[in-house]
Amino acid sequence: MGLQIGGEIEKVDGNQLSYNEFAEKYLAKNFPVVLTGLMDDWIACKNWVTEDGRPNLKFFSTHFAESTVQVADCGTREFTDQKRIEMTVAQFIDQWVNQNGAGGSSTVGSGQSVLYLKDWHFVKEYPDYVPYKTLLFFCDDWLNLYLDHYRMHNDPDTYRESNEISCSDYRFVYMGAKGSWTPFHADVFRSYSWSANVCGRKKWFFLSPSQSHLAFDRNLKNTVYNILDEVDEEKYPEFKKGVWLACTQEQDEIIFVPSGWYHQVHNLEDTISINHNWFNGHNLSWVFDLLLRDYKEAQEYIEDIRDISDDFEGLCQRNLAANTGMNFVDFSIFLLRLFLANLTQVFHRYTDSKTSSVSSSSQLTQHFTFNLSAIRRIVVKVEESMDGLAGYPGFSINLKDTLEDPEFLKLCIDVGKTYGMIHDQPSRSSYEHEAFIDEILDYGSHIVSTKVFVKFIDFFCHKFGLIVQKAEF
């Protein structure tokens, strides 16, 4: 196939790895790994798999037949992705069985396009059925934690219920016959992702962020679509210089995909997988960098109407949200709510301690401090990039309304549970939320810009004895 394979992805027994070791070796270093031995108690591994190790299509037809899903036609390209078709799970399984025989086992070379069910929001659709439990390693998930309570973008002009970019969560089920595949890409928001093989086997090809430019065209606009095809050397002159990592992911193995690692994936057998995208304090800078890049592209795309537009910058932000899933206003509001939710935890430890500062010795406090530090660094970058830009709408948030919103209290409770679980400490059974609200509103009633946001962060971190600029975890 012409790829220069420089090595294989490491496989590690997840039972021999602590959370801190995983965070240090893979999250912080942004490096892929395959984890084994962690799926034995998943209901999905029993219900979704037949005795001979194949997808239990009958189970899905019986229990989830009416769900409407997005299915990729792996043989038809549409722009930079595969053509998507909307159908029910029952229709998808009927086509799978009809193409591959009554047993559902696929054959390659039939001349028919292989279909691949992708991005099924299974958790949102069936909240009472719990086929798996997110591993501790992946629980520090700001993206899905936030989307359980808020939408990332609410502009009715750019949000549509069926728009997968503006989706309600990033927890997915994938199902595909042998030969189904996903073209070369980097993940949404440049998030982390993890993918667990409930059954079947996948072949992965990775190109590291330091080499990803080699797979782009001369204008650095578009990447190769299929790395296993003959690649046009005129269009992609650097492609052959890339050194790839490869991996064959077996059943009951979970692969961690770091931020910015472009990859292509092929199902070697009939396969069902569970996939999450997520980000946190370790890879928040990747999200910002993508937003800034996409913003500049949105600006460049409509530059010729700048002089005749009444709201050029507003149009850039709307286009950014439509293409990327959020704009800088959305991102700033997201950061503020996450900052407040983390600060709530610090506040209660501050009041519990009855001292002038929060003890920095506990892993839990160190983690909250790390989160606040990561948020501050990115808010400063947003301020440097956007504040003062002619026409930029900025963001203004009413702190009282934010803090008194019932969804915000639910977010705070979920944040406490998440980090309590990660560090094996009991979460609070109650919150003195009114006291926290009073503490915040004593500072002011509104955050009206990212510059004010930075001062707000510094004030409260100083008050609670936290040094956020140098915080590490």
What dihedral do alpha carbons 153, 159, 160, 163 form, nearest 10°? Answer: -70
Distances (CA, A) of 65 to 59, 91, 142, 272, 345: 9, 8, 31, 16, 42
Residue 109: its pLDDT value, please? 46
CA distance 308 to 332: 28
Distances (CA, A) of 202 to 9, 84, 223: 13, 21, 22
Residue type, 149: H
Residue 158: its pLDDT value, please? 47
266 is written with which tokens?
């092929």
Distances (CA, A) of 344 to 78, 154, 207, 275, 405: 46, 25, 40, 30, 14
Closest CA to 174 of 194, 146, 148: 194
Residue 165: its pLDDT value, please? 37
61 is written with which tokens?
């037809």
* 13 phi, psi to nearest 5 deg: -70, 110
pLDDT in tens, the chain (473 residues): 589 999 999 999 999 999 999 999 999 999 999 999 999 999 999 999 999 999 999 999 999 999 999 999 999 999 999 999 999 999 999 999 998 764 455 444 445 789 999 999 999 999 999 999 999 999 999 999 999 999 999 765 544 554 443 468 999 999 999 999 999 999 999 999 999 999 999 999 999 999 999 999 999 999 999 999 999 999 999 999 999 999 999 999 999 999 999 999 999 999 999 999 999 999 999 999 999 999 999 999 999 999 999 999 999 999 999 999 999 999 999 999 999 999 999 998 888 776 555 655 689 999 999 999 999 999 999 999 986 676 677 889 999 999 999 999 999 999 999 999 999 988 776 778 899 999 999 999 999 999 999 999 999 999 988 877 655 55
Q: In the sheet that 4-8 helps form, which strands lie side by side, from edge to edge?
A: 4-8, 243-249, 202-207, 262-267, 181-185
CA distance 277 to 208: 18
CA distance 104 to 101: 5
Residue 359: its pLDDT value, please? 56
8 Å CB contact between 145 and 415: yes
Residue 113: its pLDDT value, please? 85
8 is written with which tokens?
């294989």
Residue 108: its pLDDT value, please? 45
Q: What is the largest CA-CA distance in the chain?
A: 72
Residue 460: its pLDDT value, please? 95
